[in-house]
A and B are shown apart, each in its own frame.
Chain A
Amino acid sequence: MLTLTVFAPLGVAALLLALPRASGRAVRTVWVATCAVELALVSAQWVSYDGSGIGHETDRPWIPGAGAGYHVGVDGLSLPLLALTAVVFLACSLHTPAGQRGLRRFAALFLALETTCLGLFAALDLILFFLFFDLSIVGMYFVIAGWGHGARAARSALTFFLYTFVGSLALLLGFIGLYAAATPHTFDITELTADPPLEGGGAAGPLVLLAIALGLAVKTPTVPFHTWLPPAHTDAPAAGSAVLAAVLLKMGTYGFVRIALPVLPQAWRTYALVFVVVGVVSALYGALVALAQTDFKRMVAYTSVNHMGYVLLALGAAGLVAGSDAQARSVAVTGAVVQMVSHGLITAALFLLAGILWERGGTYRMDAYGGLAARAPRFAALTALAAFASLGLPGLSGFVAEFQIFAGSLGSAPVPTAVALLGVLVTAGLFLWALQRLFLGPAGDRSAGVSDLRGAQWWSVAPLLGLSVAVGVAPRWLLDTVVPAARTTVELVSR
């Protein structure tokens, strides 16, 4: 069933491409329906997952000569991200109007992209992981280059493609290192986790970790490998940005939790402080650069660097084993996983809202607007909710993530965590400032064109924020799945 869930969107994509005469309305209906079915399938798998170990597992030989298998399964780390993927792709399908240019190909591309994302989070084999990782880059390249706006879309797409592709090559090099070091040779993640190679010390472990971390750091992205992100976001269509930020970035952080920590525990522990520092620098740097932006979408893009920095801080702190409390470290890892989900929901909402701003006002420049709260109250209310969620207000998902990250990391890394806390203040300032410039005060010269949200647009954004509220006020339904997996990860990295 997991395989069906992963590949069904690809099948529908092929079907759409084979039907050149389908009307826009029909294509959109098929697209939305497929995404809804996907969400139902993923939910069913979440509900039927028994709460420990790997569930819904399939393990078939694929390229036996190379030690690669078709091995997929789910656990508490992957289920929330699979669900996030299904939710975000559904929101994007709802957001896209039937009159979208090249809708059939657009829908097919997104469905194919959904397969790569689901496949990556379900993959338990390094080659499979890498395959989906790279295919997602290719898919996103076409989304930005084909449907991006602005004169520089093609260039931004290319920057994105080359940068993340080169990163993925580093990742592959690391995977090959793991394969070569394992006895018997294997790419299987569960086998590598059960019996981590490269535990004997020496230079190989750190080098392999370096390669893998470089590859994942580009995708996450962390400072200084983040410069592909703002142009890609600024020029991507709204749905593309939403998927890129909400799902594709998570491939990087998920890679850290799924592969780097459990498979290279010794190297991770040795260099944990490096990741803590990179995380803190990313968090503060992202927040400060976001504060200086005048372009709403670029600002949101930089807040992603900030939010992903917190994830790295928590994962690094989980590796600082000496003298810290295991329970606190598992709280940090739980926070990191919740942050991936939370950031996905909130940032997808913010990018879809940014898309609406572009569609109505023709610019992302915040100074061009003002007073929109009067003209577009529902738009203002949703954006304000998303902004407060993103700045970590309790009662919304960002707080559940960040509180656990900070509280859990403080014991292992007191000074870096205290410094990272300042990022919370900067994000609060920048979002309030943004809300003020867009929605409050007197009207700006582009405000006149901005009308309020229409039905489908409301329904594409509101549920994302509804989920953020649900995680924020009653987090147990998510935490009960994540916490056991986070504990396992902490045990694995402490071996």
Chain B
Amino acid sequence: MTGPVLLWSLVLLPALTGAALALGGAVRGGGAPGRGDRGGRNGGGRTGGGRPGGTGRGAPAVAIAVAAVTLALAVAAAVRRPAVGVAFLADAPLAMAVDGLSAVVVVTVAAAALLVLVFATAGIRAARPRFFGLMLLFTAAVLLTATATTLPGLLLAWEVMGATSYALIAFDWREPANTRAGAVAFLTTRTGDLGLYLAAGAALAAGGSLTLDRLAGLDGGWRHLAAAGVLVAALGKAAQLPFSFWLSHAMRGPSPVSALLHSAAMVAMGGYLLLRVHPLLESTGWADTAAAWAGALTALALGAVALGQRDLKQLLAASTGAQLGFVVLAAGVGGIAGGTAHLVAHAAVKALLFLAAGAWLTALGTRDLSELRGAARAGPVVGLPCTVAALALAGVPPLSLWATKDEILAGVESPALYGVALAAAVLASGYAGRALGLLLRSAPRPGRPVRARPAESGVLWVLAVGAAGLGALALPPLGARFQRVLGVPGEPSAETATWLGSAALALAATAAAVALAPRLPRPRWALGWLGLDAAAHTLAVRPTLAAARALARFDDALHRAVTGTAPAARRLAGWSAAVDGRGLDRTVRRTAAGVRRLGTLALRPQTGRLHQYYAQALTLLAAVLVLLLLLSLR
């Protein structure tokens, strides 16, 4: 397979299979064309995949096979580093390339997608073609996002990713709250996406190219606009402040959806984009600092939010935003290797935790942490890998996030920034420790044992190994090699003293949180996600709706005003007719009557006043024709 074919297949294979599954389900769902309605029978949803003996059964197998081939293609692409491009729009190509950074990311994404799809086979029982089709389509969009080298291609993938996330979050569409949650996610991230439109416009206006790695070379003002646009778009996708609230809503999606969207894919792509365009951020002199602070403050604020949650999935969601904050901080301070390692390790950790939360929801019927007490003990098949991931999330050595986070902090020069990030790390130990403390507590009531099929526990163990060991990417001896793969050799790494200090801090904080788990304070503002949702509603949604209603009322008034001129014109015409004398008037009336007869003959129009309007129109037309004749005779 040649390089270009390899790269095209990487994106097109999941895209086309996904589209065929999702749309095919819809087309077949209601019976073949002309055979009437059968859609109502499908309990599962609009694609009708849940129908016994229907297309639903094959969908998971097809999807898993495609995801496996996609992973193989991703590995091959990571080794071969191909590049392709075709003419697209705005004089820019739709180009893709795999470099060190995207090599790491495409393999991570493809692996996470495969693992999550394998796990989802048991959990998703209804509308399977739609579910697995959309998941593949989403994966394809993420792979294109990770390999796109031009703005049009990036924006294409970026927004398709947003739209498929809408459809996945709103998967169970019978519940209005789910579709609202999907809409919130799509609209909030799209608000950020507008930044990419601005960036593309800035690149064109500066007469430059729409290639991502040339944005740093744009002329003065346009470069600043491009950097601001990309920054806003990435912060929106990565659920950083002030966009974070969409993540909370997104938790209404099925757990496998959360496991993919909020680990290796959607949110991670926000962090990834900033890592990729670091030279652009740096060239402005302000955007890199802004990114660093946005990331650090999000890590701190959402860490506090995570600490305050009662619902396990909400805790994980807030923690996703907080952990991505570290990646964004890394992109701001130029710690590309540390940020990438953190991205990859966090993907394994969070995919595992979301899948475990889903398994408990299925088995125990709850996501409430106080009701999940002892859940990790009741079924070690899920509980043990979950404990590994939670400890990694807490930053406990020698697990992955401990090492990757320190690698990021090594690049932070400003003491204030360092302090905020360190506080955020302690909060991470706090919320992960608290969750773990509750899950491991001896249960007040004997919990039902949580079972998992071999495939499912296999997935969890693979992820657990990743959650434990991926920190090696930030540790010697692999760390330096990883930096070379990414093309950023010589980035600052943590000192031994720092490793030890942060290890001690994380251990102490986690131990305290585990011990004090039920008694840790949970402030109201943290439970409500800092009131961000309410603020967006008050500041954006409500004024827009009010403006829309006011303008609609104005529009009706405008219409009445315009139609109100008709009677006035009629009076004017009657007056002119009287002045003009009977001869012309009669001719006009006769013509009008003739036209009316024609019209009646043709169509029986149902109005009595038509002739009057025609009279006016014909008078005007006659005047114009006379003018025309006069001019041509001149």
Task: Identify 16 new A-B residue pairs, CB closer than 8 A, beyond the known A327-B91, A377-B26.
Answer: A66-B628, A145-B605, A146-B605, A162-B617, A227-B558, A227-B559, A375-B37, A376-B37, A377-B39, A377-B48, A394-B159, A411-B204, A429-B183, A436-B180, A441-B176, A442-B174
Known: A154-B606, A292-B549, A395-B160. A404 touches B155 (CB 8 A): no
Chain A residue contacts of B613, Cβ below 8 A: 158, 161-162
Tell me whether A408 and B36 are in contact (CB under 8 A).
no
Tell me whether B545 and A291 are in contact (CB under 8 A).
yes
In A341-393, the 8 Å CB interface with B consists of 371, 373-381, 388, 393
Q: How far is the CA of A179 from the CA of B152 in the complex (A)?
A: 44
* Residue of A67, A293, A327, A403 with most chain B CB atoms under a 10 A cut-off: A403
- A sample of 19 cross-chain residue pairs with beta-carbon separation below 8 angstroms, ordered by A number, consists of A142-B602, A145-B606, A154-B605, A288-B552, A374-B45, A374-B174, A377-B46, A378-B27, A388-B163, A399-B155, A403-B90, A407-B201, A408-B204, A410-B201, A425-B191, A439-B173, A440-B173, A452-B38, A476-B88
Q: 10 smallest A-B Cβ distances: which pairs?
A: A411-B205, A410-B201, A381-B26, A292-B552, A452-B30, A373-B46, A377-B29, A146-B603, A451-B37, A394-B156
Chain B residue contacts of A293, Cβ below 8 A: 552
User: 0/1 per residue, A99-137, Cβ < 8 Å to B?
Assistant: 000000100000000000000000000000000000000
Tell me whether A331 and B91 are in contact (CB under 8 A).
yes
Chain B residue contacts of A327, Cβ below 8 A: 91, 204, 207
Tell me whether B201 and A417 are in contact (CB under 8 A).
yes
| Interface check A246, CB cutoff 8 A | no
Tell me whether B40 and A380 are in contact (CB under 8 A).
no
In B16-36, the 8 Å CB interface with A consists of 23, 25-27, 29-31, 33-34, 36
Chain A residue contacts of B603, Cβ below 8 A: 105, 142, 145-146
Tell me whether B545 and A325 are in contact (CB under 8 A).
no
User: 0/1 per residue, B172-183, Cβ < 8 Å to A?
Assistant: 011110011011
Segment at the B interface, from A41-49, A168-176, A253-261: A168-176
Q: How far is the CA of A394 from the CA of B200 in the complex (A)?
A: 14
Q: Which of B86, B201, B563 contacts A406 (CB 8 A)?
A: B201
Chain A residue contacts of B488, Cβ below 8 A: none
Tell me whether A374 and B40 are in contact (CB under 8 A).
yes
Distance of A101 from chain B, by nearest CB (Å):
11
| Interface check A180, CB cutoff 8 A | yes
User: 0/1 per residue, A57-90, Cβ < 8 Å to B?
Assistant: 0000000011100000000000000000000000
In B152-198, the 8 Å CB interface with A consists of 152, 155-160, 163, 166, 170, 173-176, 179-180, 182-183, 186-187, 190-191, 194, 197-198
| Interface check A426, CB cutoff 8 A | yes
Tell me whether B558 and A395 are in contact (CB under 8 A).
no
Q: How far is the CA of A115 from the CA of B309 in the complex (A)?
A: 66
| Interface check A224, CB cutoff 8 A | yes
Known: A162-B613, A418-B198. A410 touches B33 (CB 8 A): no
* Residue of B34, B38, B158, B201 with most chain A CB atoms under a 10 A cut-off: B201
Distance of A373 from chain B, by nearest CB (Å):
4
Tell me whether A410 and B198 are in contact (CB under 8 A).
yes
Q: How far is the CA of A466 from the CA of B610 in the complex (A)?
A: 42
Chain A residue contacts of B563, Cβ below 8 A: 159, 227
Distance of A434 from chain B, by nearest CB (Å):
11
What residue of chain B has the Cβ atom nearest to residue A68's Cβ? B632
Known: A289-B555, A388-B163. A376 touches B200 (CB 8 A): no
In B30-80, the 8 Å CB interface with A consists of 30-31, 33-34, 36-40, 42, 45-48
Tell me whether B566 and A374 are in contact (CB under 8 A).
no
| Interface check B562, CB cutoff 8 A | yes
Tell me whether A169 and B632 are in contact (CB under 8 A).
no
Interface residues on B, range: 35 or more
Chain A residue contacts of B558, Cβ below 8 A: 224, 227
| Interface check A98, CB cutoff 8 A | no
What residue of chain A has the Cβ atom nearest to residue B603's Cβ? A146
Segment at the A interface, from B270-278, B469-477, B619-627: B619-627
In B519-563, the 8 Å CB interface with A consists of 544-545, 547-549, 551-552, 555, 558-559, 562-563
Chain A residue contacts of B170, Cβ below 8 A: 440
Q: How far is the CA of A146 from the CA of B610 in the complex (A)?
A: 13
Q: How far is the CA of A327 from the CA of B207 in the complex (A)?
A: 8
Distance of A448 from chain B, by nearest CB (Å):
9
- A residues whose Cβ falls under 8 Å from a Cβ of B: 65-67, 105, 142, 145-146, 153-155, 157-159, 161-163, 165-166, 169, 172-173, 176, 179-180, 185, 224, 227-228, 230-231, 285, 288-289, 291-293, 324-325, 327-328, 331, 334, 371, 373-381, 388, 393-395, 399-400, 403-404, 406-412, 414, 417-418, 421-422, 424-426, 428-429, 432-433, 436, 439-442, 451-455, 458-459, 475-476, 479
| Interface check B89, CB cutoff 8 A | yes
Known: A291-B544, A432-B166, A432-B187. A172 touches B624 (CB 8 A): yes
* Residue of A161, A324, A395, A458 with most chain B CB atoms under a 10 A cut-off: A395
Chain B residue contacts of A67, Cβ below 8 A: 632
Chain A residue contacts of B497, Cβ below 8 A: none
Known: A146-B603, A176-B631, A453-B33. A169 touches B160 (CB 8 A): no
What residue of chain B has the Cβ atom nearest to residue A379's Cβ? B30
Tell me whether A436 and B176 are in contact (CB under 8 A).
yes
Q: Which of A288, A436, A439 contacts B183 (CB 8 A)?
A: A436
Q: Which of A172, A288, A331 contacts B551 (CB 8 A)?
A: A288
Chain B residue contacts of A158, Cβ below 8 A: 607, 610, 613
Distance of B246 from chain A, by nearest CB (Å):
13
Chain A residue contacts of B201, Cβ below 8 A: 406-411, 414, 417
Tell me whether A421 and B197 are in contact (CB under 8 A).
yes
Chain B residue contacts of A452, Cβ below 8 A: 30-31, 36-39
Chain A residue contacts of B173, Cβ below 8 A: 373, 439-441
Tell me whether B174 and A165 are in contact (CB under 8 A).
no
| Interface check B87, CB cutoff 8 A | yes
Q: How far is the CA of A145 from the CA of B204 in the complex (A)?
A: 48
Distance of B34 from chain A, by nearest CB (Å):
4
Tell me whether A154 and B607 are in contact (CB under 8 A).
yes
Distance of B499 from chain A, by nearest CB (Å):
44
Q: How far is the CA of A268 from the CA of B202 in the complex (A)?
A: 24
Q: How far is the CA of A104 from the CA of B575 in the complex (A)?
A: 42
| Interface check B453, CB cutoff 8 A | no
Tell me whether A325 and B605 are in contact (CB under 8 A).
no
What residue of chain B has the Cβ atom nearest to residue A473's Cβ? B156
| Interface check B604, CB cutoff 8 A | yes
Distance of B84 from chain A, by nearest CB (Å):
14
Q: How far is the CA of A406 from the CA of B201 in the complex (A)?
A: 6
Distance of A50 from chain B, by nearest CB (Å):
20
Tell me whether B39 and A376 are in contact (CB under 8 A).
yes
Tell me whether A424 and B33 are in contact (CB under 8 A).
no
Q: How far is the CA of A185 from the CA of B632 in the complex (A)?
A: 8
Tell me whether B548 and A288 are in contact (CB under 8 A).
yes
Q: How far is the CA of A406 from the CA of B155 in the complex (A)?
A: 13
Chain B residue contacts of A325, Cβ below 8 A: 204-207
Known: A169-B624, A403-B155, A411-B205. A475 touches B89 (CB 8 A): yes
Tell me whether B88 and A475 are in contact (CB under 8 A).
yes
Q: How far is the CA of A378 from the CA of B628 in the complex (A)?
A: 54
Q: Which of A172, A394, A429 contacts B187 (CB 8 A)?
A: A429
Known: A394-B155, A403-B90, A433-B183. A292 touches B605 (CB 8 A): no
Q: Which of B89, B91, B198, B607 contacts A400 (CB 8 A)?
A: B89
Chain B residue contacts of A105, Cβ below 8 A: 602-603
Chain A residue contacts of B183, Cβ below 8 A: 429, 432-433, 436
Tell me whether B552 and A155 are in contact (CB under 8 A).
no
Q: How far is the CA of A379 from the CA of B599 in the complex (A)?
A: 37
Q: How far is the CA of A455 from the CA of B32 in the complex (A)?
A: 8
Tell me whether A441 and B179 are in contact (CB under 8 A).
yes
Tell me whether B624 and A377 are in contact (CB under 8 A).
no
Known: A288-B551, A293-B552, A403-B155. A394 touches B197 (CB 8 A): no
Q: How far is the CA of A292 from the CA of B548 in the complex (A)?
A: 5
Distance of B454 from chain A, by nearest CB (Å):
35
